[in-house]
A and B are shown apart, each in its own frame.
Chain A
Amino acid sequence: MAEDRKDFQSDAPWASAMSHRPDPNRVGSLQMPAQKIVFDRPPAIPPNPAVSTAAIVPAKGNAKASDPDLPREKEPAYYDVPMLKKPLWKWEIATYFFLGGMSTGAHLLGRAAARFGDGGDVTKMAAYLSFLSILPGPPLLIHDLGDPKRFHHMLRVWKPSSPMNLGTWAIMAYSGAATSEVVRQYLNDREAHLKPRERNALNKLVNNGTLLLVQDAVGAPMALLVASYTGVLLSTTSNPLWSKNPWLGPLFTASAISSGAEGIMLLLDAKRKGSPADPASHRVLRTVDTLAHGVELACMAGFSTYAGEKAHTLHEGKMKGWHRASLAGIIGSEVAKYAPLPRMLKKPQRVLSNLLGLFGGFALRWSMVMGGIEAAKDPRTTRLVSDPAHTPSA
């Protein structure tokens, strides 16, 4: 064995035939540095004032990618080729984020109403809404992946370090709870058509306290996880818009709760002409919706502050329209909700407010997911993400 191969045990049949060939690029045989410099180190050449060394930084320390003293075109860059790859997630993901969020919000509120309040229509609408809106989730994700088998590959490991893996498991568990809830709701809705014996069996088997306890013990935490993992998923990337942004998780979770409340209120209004059957529950949903919108606005402000110039696409770039639409949806929904209008217009007012809120929630996901693509196309923001002035390392 030649000197350069001594660390390797090769069982390739031709290994011995190759062993006479020294490998100049393998350290050990090359013995870098080859030259043994005997004389003292010459004095360092003083920097030439004619050559600008402003852009040259040492390897260590907090070097800045964006020096405020340098004009934009003089900033160090590689021909403005974006440093990062753009996200490959498209409309399927934005739509799934919205629908999944609405589903979990509705599920949480519906179960809260059932457990702590009277349940009734709120729980009923929540059950159907949460089931129907999580239903397109897996097909959308599979469409994004391109092959049903590929979705299954995510379920071959348990890897909680990856939000996508954890999220996939959470969706599985959550959709189990949502399905159990909708089946129970459907059977209870058909109670009037049942014979007494069947009714007894229904109450024993389906409206079983233990079953409900298990369903909620799994369903509620998993619903919270499905609502929040999407934001964490985006924040655990190196994308300029999303990277490490601590506000994305709370923002998406609050938006999930508000969309859920709005969805339930819309269904309640669709079900019944005139005023809602249970105004007290309706009022609770309104209040939760308002609170969630407040949290959303606070989180959006926090998001923009944290992202700073990296959120260029939301404030001045291509996604400006969608970003404004999401703000307009959230604020417009609240304005429409509390505007003093005559009694006759109360129902159109509620519907308008809820539709605006849902649109705001959708526009939020759309601007965030698509904004990531735009941010990664912008060479400057891809450089800013590795600039300690723009992305603190903690």
Chain B
Amino acid sequence: MTLPLPIVGETNPKLRAAGAYLQHAATEAVTNFPNAFPPQRTEVPQPMDANDRKQIMGFFTDTTLCIGCKACEVACKQWNQLPADGNNFTGHSYDNTGHVSATTWRHVAFKEKMAEETQDGVSTSRWLMMSDVCKHCESAPCQHACPTGAIIYNQFGDVYVQNDICNGCGYCVVACPFGVIGRADTPHDDGHAHKCTLCMDRQEDGLTPACAKSCPTASIQFGPIDDLRAAARQREKDLHGRGNDKAYLYGCDSVGDYGPLNAFFVLEDHPNEYNLPVNPPQPFKGQTKRYLAGLAVGAALTAVGALLFGDTKRGGRRG
């Protein structure tokens, strides 16, 4: 069904385009009228029970084991049917993806640390490789920011974007302190925000997420978050025991303004070397104070105006 084109747009091409738009909008509204609302989900994910820590699933990415094969990146793209990012050449070692994005939910970072010095005749040059992913924060700024309620915590305690509700406002994109979530903006895309779902669909069927499944060195591990933390602490101890005293856990305990992250890492260098923030800020902390400051300034200026207007009235009466 198509409504008639408004007559104003017959001659002028600009008016014509505007008319066509109005026609489209009106048609949409009329045809969908009783249901001109966002589709209701038939299966609403059950909210996580905060006390049942066993339900929370996460990733532990051990960068000391990463060999940079990018199997996780490929497996993620295949399972989630993500489009290619184009044939880019960054010149940054073997990393031509650059960063986690709306269409790249696992990203393998390659850092060549070239050193001129040698230690006992052996070069100290080394590679840093890390498979980066959404951190699934327990108090996620993207979730706080989302104005439509599209971003939720699902039954596995992970941060999940419901794409039928997302409206592409882009607030989550700027809210994330890790630069993870992105909006798919090319003409072929839907213009919605996308990020790692921690393979919620696979988890519902009791399967391991695609990236962890495909990792050949068990650098990416998946499981209940408490088990993962225990394993990670043991792994750190072992690494130190073997003399790798640079290794440390990132996100296993609180980091910056955040509590423990649900996807955490063993790193061997400064977090910024992996493009991870040192102390990620939680921008929603202190939000109320900032509201109050703004409201107070506005109210004070209006009150001054009101007082002065009151004076003019009295002055007028006297005169």
Residues on A lying within 8 angstroms of B by beta carbon are 5, 7-10, 12, 15, 18, 23-28, 30, 32-33, 35, 37, 41-42, 44-45, 48, 50-51, 53, 55-60, 62-65, 75-79, 81-85, 87-89, 108-109, 112-113, 115-118, 122, 144-154, 156-157, 159, 161-165, 168, 220, 224-225, 227-229, 231-233, 235-239, 242-244, 246-250, 252-254, 256-257, 261, 278, 280-281, 283-285, 287-288, 291-292, 295, 299, 372, 376, 382-383, 385-388, 391, 393-394
Contact = CB atoms under 8 A, between A and B. Distances in A.
B283 A244 contact: yes
B5 interface: no
Contacts of A78: 109, 111, 272-275
Nearest to A118: B313
Given A42-B241, A250-B294, A291-B304, A387 B279 contact: yes
A8 B240 CA distance: 34
Given A12-B206, A284-B305, A76 B269 contact: yes
Contacts of B277: 65, 83, 383, 385-386
Given A164-B171, A228-B291, A388-B278, A235 B306 contact: no
A164 B307 CA distance: 32
Q: List the 4 closest A-B pairs by CB distance, nearest first.
A: A228-B294, A249-B294, A117-B309, A386-B277
Interface of A (DSSP majority class): loop
Given A78-B274, A232-B287, A393-B256, A386 B281 contact: yes
Nearest to A230: B294
A59 B290 contact: no
A37 B290 CA distance: 53
B73 to A, nearest CB: 16
B298 A229 contact: no
A281 B310 CA distance: 10
Contacts of B92: 79, 81
Contact of A76 (B272, B287, B304, B316): B272
Nearest to B99: A81
Contacts of B279: 62-63, 386-388, 391, 393
Interface string B190-230: 01000000000000011110001101001011111001100
Given A59-B248, A88-B183, A291-B301, A25 B147 contact: no
A392 to B, nearest CB: 9
A254 B92 CA distance: 46
A45 B243 contact: yes
Contacts of A151: 167
Interface stretch (B7-15, B43-51, B80-88, B138-146): B138-146
A35 B290 CA distance: 52
Nearest to B250: A59
B293 A249 contact: yes
B153 interface: no
Given A45-B245, A85-B174, A237-B175, 17 more contacts: A10-B207, A25-B222, A81-B99, A153-B165, A153-B166, A159-B146, A162-B144, A162-B171, A232-B294, A242-B174, A244-B286, A246-B290, A254-B301, A288-B308, A295-B301, A393-B285, A394-B286
A150 B167 contact: yes
20 contacts: A8-B206, A26-B212, A28-B227, A42-B242, A55-B270, A59-B248, A59-B250, A78-B272, A87-B173, A88-B174, A109-B305, A112-B306, A152-B36, A161-B144, A246-B286, A254-B297, A386-B177, A386-B279, A393-B285, A394-B286
Contact of A75 (B149, B150, B272, B286): B272
B69 interface: no
Contact of A50 (B124, B257, B278, B282): B124
Contact of A85 (B144, B181, B212, B234): B181
A231 B281 contact: no
Contact of B169 (A109, A154, A237): A154
A236 B284 contact: yes
Given A25-B208, A109-B302, A156-B148, A116 B310 contact: yes
B3 interface: no
Given A56-B269, A116-B309, A83 B275 contact: yes
A228 B281 contact: no
Contact of A115 (B167, B179, B221, B306): B306
Contacts of A372: 174
Contact of A257 (B178, B218, B241, B298): B298
Given A33-B235, A88-B183, A238 B294 contact: no
B250 A24 contact: no
Contacts of A386: 177, 256, 277-281
Contacts of A42: 241-243
Contacts of B181: 85
B33 interface: no
Contacts of B224: 7, 27-28
Contacts of B19: none
